Structure 1
Amino acid sequence: MADPSTYRPKPGDIPVDPGVYRFRDKDGRVIYVGKAKSLRSRLSSYFQDITALHPRTRTMVLTGASVEWTVVRNEVEALQLEYSWIKEFDPRFNVKYRDDKSYPYLAVTMGEEFPRAQVMRGAKRKGTRYFGPYAHAWAIRETLDQLLRVFPVRTCSGGVFKRAGQVGRPCLLGYIEKCSAPCVGNVSAEEHREIAEEFCDFMDGNTGRFVKRLEQQMKQASAELDYETAARRRDDIVALRKSLEHSAVVLGDKTDTDVFGVADDDLEAAVQVFHVRGGRVRGQRGWVVDKEAEGDLALAEVIERLLQQVYGEESGQGVPREVLVPVLPADVDSMAEWLTERRGAQVSLRVPQRGDKKTLMETVTRNATQSLARHKVARAGDLTARSQALQELQEYLDLPQAPLRIECYDVSHVQGTNVVASMVVFEDGLPRKSEYRKFGVRGTRTESGELRLDDTAAMDEVLTRRFRRYLAERENAGDVELDDLDDDAPTSGPIDETTGKPRRFAYPPQLVVVDGGKPQVSAATRALRELGIDDIPVVGLAKRLEEVWVDGDDFPVILPRTSEGLYLLQRVRDEAHRFAISFHRQRRSKSMTVSALDGIPGLGEVKRKALLKHFGSVKKVRAATAEEIREVDGIGPSLAEAIRTHLGQDDAAPAVNLTTGEVLE
């Protein structure tokens, strides 16, 4: 660990203005992001008396090797910049709110020409309206089934929608009037969008006008003796009211608010939020946070970090008119102003004192208390198991330290064809999917010129490519010849000078695991030794008896069948195998597709993709003139004529998938 005095800035060099600061470790990674009203006062507090700091904060300062800051005009800008940096760099010492489960949303893809209503999980996408979250996906489908009677918006996938348009017949939902069938032109794109917008208005809580409109239509149809239409409108009203029964009325009509409840102890805090729209609870969500991640974190700071995360990606109606919290953030005025900017209208941030809102917050807080209790039970077992697994691996494999970062490699192919490999990364016993990588294996030439594509040759190539990139980015070796492992050209240093982010391969693992036995381990070790790397241990996990092979040993290490260390190695190996298999299937499917554009001299993969992107299909390319083809970047007069000649001679040769026989045009 570094001595803080070696990188402590002079107090006179630090401005007294508000701003955001970043601590970096010796490798240049951002490990902590914070904001301050006065940068000088806040940064000086980290270096005064290090023994007086909270243990976690002290560890952060000792891990750091440099600190930098950016001055902003006010606290609101500091809030926004701090959120952006935390999202960009994912610092290990910042508070991270983890969802206590994966929540499904009812999403409407308003960014598409024909919006679609569907169940969605994960990160929110631009141009899509979200409603919820819901406790269960079946609750969304039940609600959607009721509402499609009144708002027949499209729910089918892109493939089903396209096929219906090609054959000129809608799907079953179109026939039973639960879809307006824009695929076959029953309604225009504008009419279908209007239906989708009304659906979104209803889900936003504007329910009264739709019920009143249907009641008027029912009465009018009845007065005109059109009893069939009146009966349909009656059933529509029943469907709307039934869907409203799923969301309890908790506040007065037209009330839009988010109510946060917190239950905490010395180490952790559980947070629950009820999303109330139109006076009804439209969604519920929960998080858990480690309070020790930023030292003795006060509840007001927990609330501030939470609001940043919840509303950092929201805008417009995604931010309610009112936010109710148990404790106001330290700088409540700046936070309220920031929320107002996100919404584009005034947002009230306050603590309820009495009445229905106070009662609702007590209910939310009880949910948070129960969530914290459940989390404690689950977390105790998880943390113990992961810590034990890392300690056992250090002990059984005689490692110098616990393998906090493990990289595992696997090779996948079918009889030497479409050879690919995968790299998966586990940090602190958990998968780090943003660090996963795929490799297309090229093979190596023997002295006789024969191309080798067996497992050991592939493992040698993959390890060589990965760690040559590590050496180049770690040791400023910009002149090292690199394979095109990714699209980033190598430049000097572990930190990208353009983005400020760590380079992809700048950090070594504490343990390399390969899928296989002694031959694979030998190949991996040989690749590292040839690069001059001798401080990274390599082991192999053989599938048959789950033996752990260590380089240089004639016999494998046998871990107990109940060992947490063995379970971790198996998880890492299985994840690498899954990732390699999925990549191999993609490659194999692509290689088994024959296109009418194949075999044209001068038309490579890049130009072929550009051509298809420009025209949309081979059929449209065939119908284009040479002058129109020349409009595509990179295609000149001679190549355009060659494409026209080739397609003219091959009119009966559409693109076909050789596995399924499906015509791909």
Structure 2
Amino acid sequence: MADPRSYRPAPGEISTSPGVYRFRDPDGRVVYVGKAKNLRARLSSYFQDPSKLATKTRTMVFTASAVEWTVVGSELEALQLEYTWIKEYRPRFNIMYRDDKSYPYLAVTMNEQFPRVLVMRGDRKPGVKYFGPFHPAKAIRETVDLMLRVFPVRTCSASVFKRARAQDRPCLLGYIGKCSAPCVGRISPAEHRALAQDFCDFMAGDAERFVKELESAMAAAVEELRFEEAARLRDDITALRRVFERNAVVLPENTEADVFALHMDELEVAVQVFHVRQGRIRGQRGWVMERVEDVGQDVMVEELLKQVYGDLGGTERIPHEVLVPVEPSEAEQLTAWLSGLRGARVQVRVPQRGAKADLMETVRENAEMALKLHKTRRSGDLTTRSAALRELQDALGIDDPLLRIECYDISHSQGTNVVGSMVVVEDGLPKKKDYRRFNVTGEAARDDTASMKDVLRRRFARMAKERQEGVVVTGQVEADEADAGDRRFAYPPSLVVVDGGPPQVAAAAAVLEELGLDDLPVVGLAKRLEEVWVPGDEFPVVLPRASEGLYLLQRIRDESHRFAIAGHRGRRTKAMTASALDAVPGLGPARRQALLTHFGSVEQIRAAGPERLTEVAGIGPTLAQTVHAALTASGGGDTVRA
């Protein structure tokens, strides 16, 4: 750990203007990003007597080895740049809300000839009607399943719809009455569009009209002794009422708001948000984060709103009103930033009384219960993970804690389509965004040890280069002087694990020594007896069968094996497709993909016959005969799918 005095800048070097600053560790990682109205005053506060600093702030300044800063023109620009850097670097000591999924919406594609109902995330598209957001996505699917009893709108994808039209046969939903089957002409385009519009009207709040119409139809069926139809209508009414009850009005119908609440202890914070649209709670979302900063609720609320809304733009995605438990720090700049993202005014305020204050209390109670549940569930897992890491560290004689473990595996079929995998575990948990695959070709693919050497050399080459250069930026930098690419791939692991015994371990150790990284611990886990091999040792390290450390290594090894096999199968599938279709003269990539999209697999293309092949755009009679002849000559057994 570095002494803060070793990298403390002179006060005269730091500007008194607004700006953003970054602390970096010895490996160049950004460990903290912050903003300040006065950079000199704020940065100086980090280099006071360490005993006066908060515990986690003291840990941060001793973890870092350099600080750099960027001067900007205003506090609003500082807020924007701070958000950008937090999203880019995901610093260890910043508040991070670990839920990066976009909001799920119920969408109706009114811009198509036959509108479709589906769950949609991401950017909005013109001509599509959206309802929500909902959370979880399962709630949308349950709602749609109930709605399709009364409004059997199409839900299938374009390829399924096109295939059903070509085969003149509806899908399963068409047979069970949950789709009006416009693909086979059971309903005209105009009638289907009217059905989709009724679906939209119901979701927009006009529910009672449809319920009354169904009640009238049910009464008429009973009078005419059509009891089966009356029973079906009764079930339809029940389904609509269940959907309607889920969307009960809690605030005035013109209310568009997101309601946030937090509940925290010394270590963690639980966040809950209710999405209110047209006065109804359309969705609920929540997550728990670690308190890596000793800050108050006002700063936490500011960070929360920046991360939740930073990637969302447009009037429909950011509501008119954001209700929070306390006024965020830098409230004026935050409101201006959100209004700029929305393109219209956004109000960020604390409800004091009335229905909105009551709803805020309900959200707070949800956050409190979520934190209690999280701690109850996690206590056993956290204890087990800590014990496994500690046991493994002691058994291998490694001095530093095993904060990051990387495991490597090779997958192939008799030396073809060789794929290497790298999986990452941090604090005993998988970090899937850092997973990597390596396609191994040429001389490196001759055997497993050569492939392992190639993968490790490619993975650690950049880290070795940066360690040799040993350049760490300190001081004022320009806003556009961001690092080229993602530096996280160059981070040193605490332990390197390879799948295999002494040959694989020796190969890995040789590569690390060649690159000047022989200080990185490396071990191998052999499958047969689950022995742990260390480079240069004649005998393996044998961990007890009930060892938590061995269980951890096995899980990492199995995950690496799974990840490698998935990549290998993908390459093999492409190779199989090439062997079947690429050899057909006159059939280019676009037409080949069109055939696979239309028919679904090479086997179905082979069985289709020349006449049906001409249904695909760009496939004429002559080319259809050529394709059919080539596939027939190649024989069966190829089941590659699009």
Instruction: Supply the distance in 2 between the matched residues of 1:349 and 1:408 (Cα, whole angstroms).
Output: 46
Matches within 5 A, 1:177-256: 178-181=178-181, 183-184=183-184, 199=199, 202-203=202-203, 206-208=204-206, 211-212=208-209, 239-256=239-256
Instruction: Supply the distance in 2 between the matched residues of 1:13 and 1:401 (Cα, whole angstroms).
Output: 36
Aligned partner (choices 536, 542, 566) of residue 582 of structure 1: 566
- Give the secondary-structure state (helix, strand or coil) at the position aligned to 2:418: strand
Instruction: Supply the distance in 2 between the matched residues of 1:554 and 1:280 (Cα, whole angstroms).
Output: 69
Residue of structure 1 equivalent to 2:603: none
Matches within 5 A, 1:166-177: 166-174=166-174
Matches within 5 A, 1:64-143: 64-98=64-98, 105=104, 107-108=106-107, 110=109, 116-118=116-118, 124=122, 127=125, 129=130, 131-134=132-135, 137=138, 139-143=139-143
1:551 is displaced (CA, Å) by 1.6
For the Cα contact (< 8 Å) 1:419–1:453, is it kept in 2?
no
Residue of structure 1 equivalent to 2:319: 320
Residue of structure 2 equivalent to 1:55: 55
Quick check: 1:540 aligned with 2:524?
Answer: yes
1:152 is displaced (CA, Å) by 3.8
- Give the secondary-structure state (helix, strand or coil) at the position aligned to 2:565: helix
- Give the secondary-structure state (helix, strand or coil) at the position aligned to 2:316: helix
- Give the secondary-structure state (helix, strand or coil) at the position aligned to 2:503: helix
Residue of structure 2 equivalent to 1:413: 412
Instruction: Supply the distance in 2 between the matched residues of 1:253 and 1:512 (Cα, whole angstroms).
Output: 58
Query: Kindly tell me: are residues 221 and 365 of structure 1, through their superposed partners in 2, closer, same or farther at Cα, counting changes over 3 Å?
Result: closer
One-letter identity of the residue aligned with 1:375: H
Residue of structure 1 equivalent to 2:602: none
1:80 is displaced (CA, Å) by 3.0
For the Cα contact (< 8 Å) 1:655–1:664, is it kept in 2?
no
Matches within 5 A, 1:127-166: 127=125, 129=130, 131-134=132-135, 137=138, 139-149=139-149, 151-166=151-166
For the Cα contact (< 8 Å) 2:256–2:276, is it kept in 1?
yes
Which has more helix, going by share of residues?
A: 2
For the Cα contact (< 8 Å) 1:592–1:658, is it kept in 2?
no
- Give the secondary-structure state (helix, strand or coil) at the position aligned to 1:253: coil
For the Cα contact (< 8 Å) 1:326–1:351, is it kept in 2?
yes
Instruction: Supply the distance in 1 between the matched residues of 2:367 and 2:154 (Cα, whole angstroms).
Output: 37
- Give the secondary-structure state (helix, strand or coil) at the position aligned to 1:653: helix
For the Cα contact (< 8 Å) 1:656–1:663, is it kept in 2?
no
Matches within 5 A, 1:490-509: 499-503=483-487, 505-509=489-493
Matches within 5 A, 1:554-593: 554-593=538-577
Query: Kindly tell me: are residues 233 and 77 of structure 1, through their superposed partners in 2, closer, same or farther at Cα, counting changes over 3 Å?
Result: farther
Query: Kindly tell me: are residues 130 and 383 of structure 1, through their superposed partners in 2, closer, same or farther at Cα, counting changes over 3 Å?
Result: farther
Query: Kindly tell me: are residues 551 and 300 of structure 1, through their superposed partners in 2, closer, same or farther at Cα, counting changes over 3 Å?
Result: same
Query: Kindly tell me: are residues 508 and 262 of structure 1, through their superposed partners in 2, closer, same or farther at Cα, counting changes over 3 Å?
Result: closer
Instruction: Supply the distance in 2 between the matched residues of 1:332 and 1:503 (Cα, whole angstroms).
Output: 33
1:392 is displaced (CA, Å) by 1.6
Deviates more, 1:385-394 or 1:83-92: 385-394
- Give the secondary-structure state (helix, strand or coil) at the position aligned to 2:630: coil
1:216 is displaced (CA, Å) by 7.8
- Give the secondary-structure state (helix, strand or coil) at the position aligned to 1:419: strand
Residue of structure 2 equivalent to 1:309: 307
Instruction: Supply the distance in 2 between the matched residues of 1:199 and 1:431 (Cα, whole angstroms).
Output: 42
Deviates more, 1:524-533 or 1:570-579: 524-533
1:239 is displaced (CA, Å) by 4.5
Instruction: Supply the distance in 1 between the matched residues of 2:330 and 2:634 (Cα, whole angstroms).
Output: 61
Instruction: Supply the distance in 1 between the matched residues of 2:96 and 2:178 (Cα, whole angstroms).
Output: 42
Residue of structure 1 equivalent to 2:512: 528
For the Cα contact (< 8 Å) 1:592–1:659, is it kept in 2?
no
1:142-194 C-alpha deviation (Å, 9 max, x unpaired): 31123224544432245433321321333243456643545457779899788
Residue of structure 1 equivalent to 2:477: none
One-letter identity of the residue aligned with 1:579: F
- Give the secondary-structure state (helix, strand or coil) at the position aligned to 1:366: helix
Instruction: Supply the distance in 2 between the matched residues of 1:528 and 1:89 (Cα, whole angstroms).
Output: 27
Instruction: Supply the distance in 1 between the matched residues of 2:632 and 2:97 (Cα, whole angstroms).
Output: 48
Residue of structure 2 equivalent to 1:463: 456
Instruction: Supply the distance in 1 between the matched residues of 2:634 and 2:15 (Cα, whole angstroms).
Output: 64
- Give the secondary-structure state (helix, strand or coil) at the position aligned to 2:337: helix
Query: Kindly tell me: are residues 141 and 402 of structure 1, through their superposed partners in 2, closer, same or farther at Cα, counting changes over 3 Å?
Result: same
TM-score by structure 2 length?
Answer: 0.81
Query: Kindly tell me: are residues 509 and 15 of structure 1, through their superposed partners in 2, closer, same or farther at Cα, counting changes over 3 Å?
Result: same
For the Cα contact (< 8 Å) 1:412–1:581, is it kept in 2?
yes
One-letter identity of the residue aligned with 2:160: V
1:4-29 C-alpha deviation (Å, 9 max, x unpaired): 33433343443333333222223322
Query: Kindly tell me: are residues 546 and 200 of structure 1, through their superposed partners in 2, closer, same or farther at Cα, counting changes over 3 Å?
Result: farther
Quick check: 1:652 aligned with 2:629?
Answer: yes
- Name structure 1 gaps, 5 residues minimum: 446-451, 478-495, 625-643
One-letter identity of the residue aligned with 2:455: V
Matches within 5 A, 1:367-378: 367-378=366-377
Instruction: Supply the distance in 1 between the matched residues of 2:632 and 2:3 (Cα, whole angstroms).
Output: 64
Instruction: Supply the distance in 2 between the matched residues of 1:72 and 1:185 (Cα, whole angstroms).
Output: 62
Residue of structure 2 equivalent to 1:514: 498
Deviates more, 1:24-33 or 1:393-402: 24-33
1:522-580 C-alpha deviation (Å, 9 max, x unpaired): 22223333444321222111223322111222221122233222222112111101101
For the Cα contact (< 8 Å) 1:443–1:458, is it kept in 2?
no
1:308 is displaced (CA, Å) by 1.6
Instruction: Supply the distance in 2 between the matched residues of 1:146 and 1:253 (Cα, whole angstroms).
Output: 24
Query: Kindly tell me: are residues 264 and 180 of structure 1, through their superposed partners in 2, closer, same or farther at Cα, counting changes over 3 Å?
Result: same
For the Cα contact (< 8 Å) 1:215–1:233, is it kept in 2?
no
1:366 is displaced (CA, Å) by 1.6
- Give the secondary-structure state (helix, strand or coil) at the position aligned to 2:454: helix
For the Cα contact (< 8 Å) 2:584–2:630, is it kept in 1?
no
Q: How many matched pairs?
A: 605
Instruction: Supply the distance in 2 between the matched residues of 1:93 and 1:384 (Cα, whole angstroms).
Output: 22
Deviates more, 1:22-31 or 1:144-153: 144-153
For the Cα contact (< 8 Å) 1:251–1:280, is it kept in 2?
yes
- Give the secondary-structure state (helix, strand or coil) at the position aligned to 1:33: strand
Query: Kindly tell me: are residues 241 and 417 of structure 1, through their superposed partners in 2, closer, same or farther at Cα, counting changes over 3 Å?
Result: same
Residue of structure 1 equivalent to 2:476: none
Instruction: Supply the distance in 1 between the matched residues of 2:446 and 2:368 (Cα, whole angstroms).
Output: 57
1:61-101 C-alpha deviation (Å, 9 max, x unpaired): 222233333344443333333222211211111111235x9
- Name structure 2 gaps, 5 residues minimum: 471-479, 598-612
One-letter identity of the residue aligned with 2:427: D
1:397 is displaced (CA, Å) by 0.5
Residue of structure 2 equivalent to 1:35: 35
Residue of structure 1 equivalent to 2:447: 454
Instruction: Supply the distance in 1 between the matched residues of 2:258 and 2:71 (Cα, whole angstroms).
Output: 32
For the Cα contact (< 8 Å) 1:135–1:284, is it kept in 2?
yes
Instruction: Supply the distance in 2 between the matched residues of 1:334 and 1:497 (Cα, whole angstroms).
Output: 25
Instruction: Supply the distance in 1 between the matched residues of 2:140 and 2:217 (Cα, whole angstroms).
Output: 32
One-letter identity of the residue aligned with 2:317: G
| Identical positions, percent | 56
Instruction: Supply the distance in 1 between the matched residues of 2:632 and 2:281 (Cα, whole angstroms).
Output: 51
Deviates more, 1:153-162 or 1:612-621: 612-621
Higher relative contact order (CA 8 A, sep 6+): 2
Instruction: Supply the distance in 2 between the matched residues of 1:217 and 1:377 (Cα, whole angstroms).
Output: 47
One-letter identity of the residue aligned with 1:86: I
- Give the secondary-structure state (helix, strand or coil) at the position aligned to 2:144: helix
Residue of structure 2 equivalent to 1:552: 536
TM-score by structure 1 length?
Answer: 0.79
1:413-451 C-alpha deviation (Å, 9 max, x unpaired): 233332222111112222222221112222538xxxxxx
1:215-250 C-alpha deviation (Å, 9 max, x unpaired): 589989999xxx99x989998766433311123432
One-letter identity of the residue aligned with 1:314: L
One-letter identity of the residue aligned with 1:522: A
One-letter identity of the residue aligned with 1:288: V
**How much is the aligned-residue C-alpha RMSD, in angstroms?**
4.1
For the Cα contact (< 8 Å) 2:248–2:280, is it kept in 1?
yes
One-letter identity of the residue aligned with 2:453: D
Instruction: Supply the distance in 1 between the matched residues of 2:592 and 2:302 (Cα, whole angstroms).
Output: 49
